[in-house]
């Protein structure tokens, strides 16, 4: 597929992708756009010019209204945008609605309804199980039977670029609990899916309902204070150790852009219960890349995730819990089997015992004030075209006291 837009070589934003976001230009009103090359196509502008159907979806500060419109609308919009961006006859009327990315202020793409975080990488769960519970089996007995998760704090999901203030809290010391800034501030590189179409209370959504409810995927950094977490989390799970901030990428990659990236997940043994069985393979050939202060420290492979997104969705609703537009469900930390494939510092440095030696001569056990973390990801698209997820970044600010 050829677009008349000049897409730089290696850009993950070719016409095969068309990820959705919300942007504003020079203090102007927010609007929905799709990324193409190093530009944003202004969908509200296209609609005003009569080039695109809009039922109040695009001159909006969030994607929620468009996401709730459902799959037939998502499909028709994608087909129309593809036609506009590939047909040379449309160029003259469409080109005025392309905004340079450098002029676009990217917002949180959707209002987050509920936020769930899973724990679906077997390598990650095994590695952190050994660190947090050295005297127990690394995988809890339920791990192979259900995708473990917890409910997080939707109101502290922030867009890429938002600074992260080092959290304060209680941590264990030899003399009892002490209060202060976390000494073990960490990241978690994850991929999340976003719900578009709600479901009714009392009605589970089966794995086969995934495509009808889920709009797309984003990158997630689930910032984690390991010392606060280790002291507070038993028996009810993560609380203040993770609720201070969770960052997401500004672009939502639609499911339709990920068809070529779909791959069989690792075999599941024991076979899951019937409600968790899935006819379609929803592993994704997607590689993450984590940079710390500009140095690449890891390449986590998403295809190794044990539990897939449709299984997570089916599990999260099997008790009848309803879905709302804007629900964000994150995969859990993405870690592969190799040392340089781990998705967080607690694994990469074995809880600080083996600090990273960065090429600039500095060492890192956990994050220090002023550190910047950047997570990117690329999936394989049709004919090998890269499908980019953009990036999620954040810089650590000192604790406020």
Ligand X SMILES: O=C(O)/C=C/C(=O)CC(=O)CC(=O)O
Could you tell me which stretch among 117-125, 161-169, 265-273, 296-304 binds ligand X (CB under 6 A)?
117-125
- Is residue 124 near ligand X by the rule CB under 6 A? yes
Q: Which of 117, 227, 327, 347 binds ligand X (CB under 6 A)?
A: 117
Residues 6+ apart with CB under 8 A from 269: 144
Shortest reach from residue 158's CB to ligand X, in Å: 17
Q: Count the residues of the shown chain that bind Mg ion, applying the rule CB under 5 A.
A: 3
The window from 3-11, 33-41, 122-130, 214-222 that contacts Mg ion (CB under 5 A) reads 214-222
Residues with Cβ within 8 Å of residue 105, at least 6 apart in sequence = 23, 24, 25
In whole angstroms, give the CA distance from residue 34 to residue 23.
10
x-marked contacts with ligand X along 245-284 as a string, rule CB under 6 A: ----------------------------------------
Measure the N-to-C terminal CA separation of the chain; round to a whole number of Å: 55
Closer residue to ligand X, CB minimum distance, 10 or 134: 134
Q: What is the DSSP pairing of strand 31-36 with strand 20-25?
A: antiparallel
State the nearest-atom distance from the C-beta of 190 to Ca ion, in Å: 6
CB of 115 to Mg ion, least distance (A): 8
Determine, following the binding rule CB under 6 A, whether residue 388 of this chain makes contact with ligand X. Answer: no
Residue 230 parent element (H or E): helix 226-232
188 part of the interface to Ca ion, by CB under 5 A: yes
Of the candidates 14, 38, 216, which has an alpha carbon nearest to the alpha carbon of residue 110? 216
Closest listed residue to residue 98, CA positions, set 163, 146, 60, 51: 51
How far apart, in Å, are the Cα atoms of 32 and each of 85, 98, 149, 297, 354? 17, 12, 31, 33, 45
CB nearer to ligand X: give 308 or 333.
333
User: Which of the choices Mg ion, Ca ion, ligand X, none does residue 335 contact, using the CB cut-off of 5 to 8 A by kind?
Assistant: none
Does position 347 interact with Ca ion (CB under 5 A)? The reply is no
| Options 160, 247, 304, 333; binder of ligand X; rule CB under 6 A | 333
92: which residues sit within 8 A by CB, 6+ positions away? Answer: none
Based on the shown chain and the rule CB under 5 A, indicate whether residue 222 belongs to the binding site for Ca ion. Answer: yes
- The partner in contact with residue 246, picked from Ca ion, Mg ion, ligand X, none with C-beta cut-offs of 5 to 8 angstroms by kind, is Mg ion
The nearest distance, CB 262 to ligand X, in angstroms, is 22
- Is there binding between residue 386 and ligand X (CB under 6 A)? no
**DSSP letter assigned to residue 243:** T
Residues 377 and 302: their CA atoms lie apart, in Å, by 9
Task: Respond yes or no: is residue 124 known to be catalytic.
Answer: yes
Given the residues 97, 124, 213, 315, select the one marked as catalytic.
124
- 129's contact among Mg ion, ligand X, Ca ion, none, with CB below 5 to 8 A by partner kind, is ligand X
Closest contact distance (angstroms) between CB of 123 and ligand X is 10
ω before 203 within 30° of 0 (cis)? no
- 186 contributes a contact to Ca ion by CB under 5 A: no
- The span from the CA of 221 to the CA of 313, in Å, is 20
Q: Which stretch binds Mg ion (CB under 5 A): 36-44, 245-253, 288-296, 321-329?
A: 245-253
Cα angle at 104 between 223 and 394, to 5 degrees?
Answer: 15
**What does the angle CA 251 – CA 252 – CA 253 come to, to the nearest 5 degrees?**
110
In the chain, the largest separation of any two C-alpha atoms, in whole Å, equals 74
Nearer to ligand X, 65 or 268 (CB): 268
Which is nearer to ligand X, 114 or 222 (by Cβ)?
222
User: What is the DSSP code (8-state) at residue 221?
Assistant: E
- Beta carbon of residue 353, minimum distance to ligand X (angstroms, whole number): 18
Tokens coding 269: 């043994």
SS3 of residue 394 by DSSP: strand
Residue 106, token pair as written in the block = 């990217």
Of 254 and 332, which CB lies nearer to Mg ion in the complex structure? Answer: 332
Interface residue with ligand X, options 129, 161, 198, 206 (CB under 6 A): 129
Q: Give the interface with ligand X as residue ranges (CB under 6 A).
A: 117, 119, 124, 128-129, 132, 188, 190, 222, 224, 238, 332-333
Question: Active-site residue numbers?
Answer: 124
């Amino acid at each position: 597929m050829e677009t008349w837009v000049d897409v730089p070589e290696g850009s993950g934003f070719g016409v095969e992708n068309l990820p959705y976001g919300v942007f504003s230009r020079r203090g102007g009103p927010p609007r929905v756009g799709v990324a193409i090359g190093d530009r944003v196509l202004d969908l509200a502008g296209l609609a005003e010019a009569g080039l695109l159907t809009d039922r109040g979806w695009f001159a909006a500060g969030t994607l929620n209204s468009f996401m709730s419109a459902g799959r037939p609308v998502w499909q028709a919009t994608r087909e129309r945008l593809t036609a506009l961006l590939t047909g040379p006859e449309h160029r003259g009327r469409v080109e005025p609605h392309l905004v340079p990315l450098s002029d676009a202020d990217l917002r949180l793409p959707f209002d987050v309804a509920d936020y769930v975080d899973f724990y679906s990488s077997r390598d990650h769960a095994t590695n952190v199980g050994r660190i947090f519970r050295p005297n127990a089996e690394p995988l809890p007995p339920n791990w192979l039977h259900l995708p473990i998760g917890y409910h997080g704090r939707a109101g502290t999901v922030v867009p890429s670029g938002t600074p992260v203030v080092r959290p304060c809290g209680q941590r264990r010391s030899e003399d009892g609990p002490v209060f202060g800034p976390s000494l073990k501030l960490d990241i978690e590189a994850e991929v999340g899916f976003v719900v578009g179409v709600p479901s009714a209370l009392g009605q589970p959504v089966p794995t086969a309902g995934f495509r009808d409810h889920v709009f797309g995927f984003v990158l997630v950094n689930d910032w984690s204070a390991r010392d606060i977490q280790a002291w507070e989390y038993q028996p009810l799970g993560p609380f203040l150790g993770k609720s201070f901030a969770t960052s997401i990428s500004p672009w939502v990659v639609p499911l339709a852009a990920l068809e070529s990236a779909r791959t069989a997940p690792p075999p599941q043994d024991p076979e899951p219960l019937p409600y968790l069985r899935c006819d379609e393979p929803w592993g994704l050939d997607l590689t993450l890349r984590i940079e710390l202060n500009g140095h690449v420290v890891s390449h986590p492979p998403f295809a190794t995730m044990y539990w897939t997104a449709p299984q997570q969705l089916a599990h999260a609703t099997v008790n009848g819990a309803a879905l709302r537009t804007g629900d964000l469900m994150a995969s859990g930390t993405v870690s592969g089997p190799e040392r340089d494939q781990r998705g967080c510092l607690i694994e990469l440095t074995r809880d600080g015992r083996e600090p990273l030696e960065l090429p600039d001569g500095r060492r890192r056990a956990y994050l220090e004030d002023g550190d910047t973390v950047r997570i990117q990801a690329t999936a394989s698209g049709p004919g090998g075209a890269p499908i980019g997820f953009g990036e999620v970044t954040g810089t650590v600010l000192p604790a406020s006291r």
